[in-house]
């Protein structure tokens, strides 16, 4: 997870960011017809820069629960004062576990904050392995609830697999949360900000890739098809496909930031947060919705 959204929000609220040139709509190259037919944009609503700028997830347990969002304004004071000042894209399981990923500006660990089905909160800390990046951008819980995937910032060819903290009996807040396996990708990905399972072996991921050389487009929506469901005992492979470019529209010109993603299993609706450039981070950042077809 990058820190640019947090820095821009503070700058704007402090009056240090001026209004960018208005009436310039920033449009990137459209996706191909085949890709556009895969996930079609169906609507959008404003994403609050303080509380809805990092991630989101639909919650199935208890029934009729509202969707949950993360942003710099959702970090509890008791968490931030201990240095956990970045929150990423969360996820929730069928069984009612809700998990938020946290990182610090430095150190050798990352943290997962877990709300159990009964409502109690606990924290699970993972000590970085050799070569593991510090950032903690997102989590995706497997449909069986037992395994949790996470990713690293930058250009990567793997995803990390952990036992789901709280849900998996191999975990405890009092001991280190271990990485148990990896997903080896057949194509590198860059700056992935969120992933969510849309099926037992399929992930949908939002990439903030600003370069575009990996897939011929910037800011792509990715699909990763796994060779098998994660089971914590063996690595699996993942086939990566770029489906389409995510929407980049604003009254301000400049650099957009793609954030978290959610696939609602009950409705089949896909949602992705895209944060607008400059001052427009306050006014027209959006959560876009998509349907398959």
- Token pair 């990058």 is found at 2
- Which letter does DSSP use for residue 87 in this model? E
Q: How many CB atoms lie within 10 A of CB 45?
A: 10
pLDDT tens profile 57-91? 999 998 999 999 999 999 999 999 999 999 999 99
Containing domain of residue 119, as a range?
4-292
CB 4 within 8 A of CB 196: no
Evaluate if pTM is beyond 0.85.
Answer: yes
Intra-chain end-to-end CA distance of the chain, in Å: 30
Q: What is the pLDDT of residue 293?
A: 83
pLDDT tens profile 13-65? 444 333 333 333 333 333 333 333 489 999 999 999 999 999 999 999 989 99
Question: CA nearest 114: which of 105, 124, 125?
Answer: 124
CB 79 within 8 A of CB 93: no
Q: What is the pLDDT of residue 38?
A: 85
pLDDT tens profile 150-176? 999 999 999 999 999 999 999 999 999
- What is the per-residue burial (b if ≥16 Cβ within 10 Å, else e) of 262-279? bbbeeeebbbbbbbbbbb
Q: What is the pLDDT of residue 15?
A: 41
pLDDT tens profile 196-232? 999 999 999 999 999 999 999 999 999 999 999 999 9
What CATH code is carried by the domain that includes residue 257? Answer: 2.120.10
Q: What is the pLDDT of residue 222?
A: 98
CA distances for 146 relative to 16, 60, 143, 168, 241, angstroms: 45, 16, 8, 5, 26
Q: Which helix (H) or strand (E) holds 34?
A: helix 33-38
- Which letter does DSSP use for residue 10 in this model? H
Q: What is the pLDDT of residue 27?
A: 33
What average pLDDT does range 282-286 have in this prediction? 97
**pLDDT above 70 (res 186):** yes
Q: For residue 191, how far is the Cα from the chain centroid?
A: 10
Residue 212 and residue 219: Cα distance in Å, rounded? 7
Residue 87: cis peptide before it, omega within 30 degrees of 0: no
At CA 182, angle to CA 187 and CA 139, rounded to 5? 90
Q: What rounded mean pLDDT belongs to the chain?
A: 90
The CA-based dihedral angle spanning residues 234, 163, 176, 235, taken in that order and rounded to the nearest 10 degrees? 20
**pLDDT above 90 (res 4):** no
Q: What is the pLDDT of residue 219?
A: 98
Q: How many domains does the chain have?
A: 1
């Amino acid at each position: 997870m990058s820190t640019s959204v947090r820095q821009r929000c503070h700058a704007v609220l402090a009056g240090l960011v001026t209004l960018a040139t208005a009436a310039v709509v920033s449009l990137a190259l459209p996706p191909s017809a085949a890709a556009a037919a895969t996930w079609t944009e169906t609507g959008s609503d404003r994403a609050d820069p303080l509380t809805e700028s990092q991630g989101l997830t639909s919650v199935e347990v208890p029934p009729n629960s509202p969707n949950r969002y993360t942003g710099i304004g959702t970090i509890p004071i008791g968490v931030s004062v201990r240095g956990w000042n970045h929150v990423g894209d969360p996820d929730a399981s069928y069984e009612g576990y809700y998990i938020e990923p946290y990182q610090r500006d430095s150190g050798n660990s990352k943290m997962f904050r877990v709300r159990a089905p009964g409502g109690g909160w606990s924290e699970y800390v993972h000590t970085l392995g050799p070569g593991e990046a510090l950032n903690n951008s997102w989590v995706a819980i497997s449909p069986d609830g037992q395994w949790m995937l996470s990713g690293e910032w930058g250009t990567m060819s793997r995803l990390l697999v952990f036992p789901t903290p709280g849900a998996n009996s191999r975990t405890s807040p009092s001991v280190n949360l271990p990485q148990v396996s990896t997903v080896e990708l057949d194509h590198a990905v860059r700056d992935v900000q969120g992933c969510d399972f849309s099926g037992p072996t399929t992930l949908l991921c939002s990439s903030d890739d600003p370069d575009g050389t990996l897939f011929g487009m910037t800011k792509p929506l990715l699909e990763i098809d796994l060779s098998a469901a994660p089971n914590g005992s063996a690595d699996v492979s993942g086939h990566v496909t770029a489906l389409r470019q995510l929407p980049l529209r604003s009254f301000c010109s400049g650099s957009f930031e793609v954030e978290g993603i959610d696939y609602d299993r009950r409705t089949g609706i896909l949602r992705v947060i895209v944060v607008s450039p400059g001052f427009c981070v306050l006014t027209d950042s959006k959560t876009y919705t998509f349907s398959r077809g």
